Amino acid sequence: MRRLDARLRTLATQSGQSLGLVAVAVLAMAAAPISVPAGDDPLGVTNKGPVAPPVVAVAEPAGPVTREIRFEAPLKGYPINSRFGMRRLGGEGAARPHNGVDMAAPTGTSVFSAAEGVVVRTGYQPEGYGRFVEVAHPNGMTTLYAHMSRVDVASGMAVTGEDRLGLVGSTGYSTGPHLHFEVRRGGTPINPARVLDRSFEVVVIEAS
């Protein structure tokens, strides 16, 4: 009986030591850091969802920068008295094209540029325009002023609608004091009545 009690005490002692070692091991595991693979959730769920692409800003092409120019009558207060198109003057046997309009006015009346532009030529044609001025405008049109008694500008000069080009006269092939006024686009005559008192868009900077 004494031997049995001794064995039981020995077993209990050994069991207590084993339980102590187990408890120490459990505590050590609880205190150790958990290593989580990159990209994995700590709960064991792998994070492999779609990744949003980076936002890239794209600049829209810039449109052209434009402004307007306005054409006004070159004589102030004097209406058109001979229109654009076919006509026959007294003493002429057949009608012929009239490539502009005429405005009758007294000799010496101021002639103004119809719009801003650059004087491209001046001259004298004794059997035609007489003394004349031609102006190129930013919208691609040109204007011509003929039968003038005096020219006040020279080629290469920049002018505006407020600048005087010269004076009304009756030089060249003319039947009396008046201004012959032409408008051309690409060298082709167009009816000035369709241009005067109108604004036209001009491109300042081309589209990028």
Question: What pLDDT is recorded for position 117?
Answer: 98
Task: Parse the chain into domains and list their residue ranges.
Answer: 65-205
**Residue of 38 and 59 predicted with greater confidence:** 59
**207 falls in which pLDDT band (50, 70, 90)?**
low
Q: How far is CA 79 from the centre of its chain?
A: 36
What percent of the chain stands above pLDDT 90?
A: 58
Q: Greater confidence, 35 or 183?
A: 183
Q: What is the pLDDT of residues 84-128, one digit of tens each?
A: 988 877 677 788 889 999 999 999 999 999 999 999 999 999 999
Residue 160: the pLDDT is 95
pLDDT at 208: 62
Give the pLDDT score at 103. Answer: 97
- Three-class HEC string of 149-208: EEECCCCCCEECCCCEEEEEECCCCCCCCEEEEEEEECCEEECHHHCCCEEEEEEEECCC
Q: How confident is the prediction for the chain on average, in pLDDT?
A: 82
Average pLDDT over residues 50-54: 75
Q: Yes or no: say if 179 and 168 are a contact pair by the CB < 8 Å rule.
A: yes
Per-residue pLDDT band for 60 (boundaries 50, 70, 90) equals: confident
pLDDT of residue 17 exceeding 60, the answer is no
Asked whether the whole model's pTM tops 0.85, one would answer no
Model pLDDT, residue 204: 84
- 52 band by pLDDT with thresholds 50, 70 and 90: confident
pLDDT tens-digit map of 66-94: 999 999 999 999 999 999 988 877 677 78
Distance CA 183, CA 205 (A): 25
Of 39-48, 101-110, 132-141, least confident by mean pLDDT is 39-48
User: Residue 86 gets which letter from DSSP?
Assistant: E
The whole-number pLDDT of residue 24 equals 39
Residue bearing tokens 């046997």: 93
Mode of pairing for the β-strands spanning 130-136 and 85-87 = unpaired
| Domain 65-205 of CATH type 3.30.70.3400 | no
CA distance 150 to 148: 5
Would you say residue 171 has pLDDT above 80?
A: yes
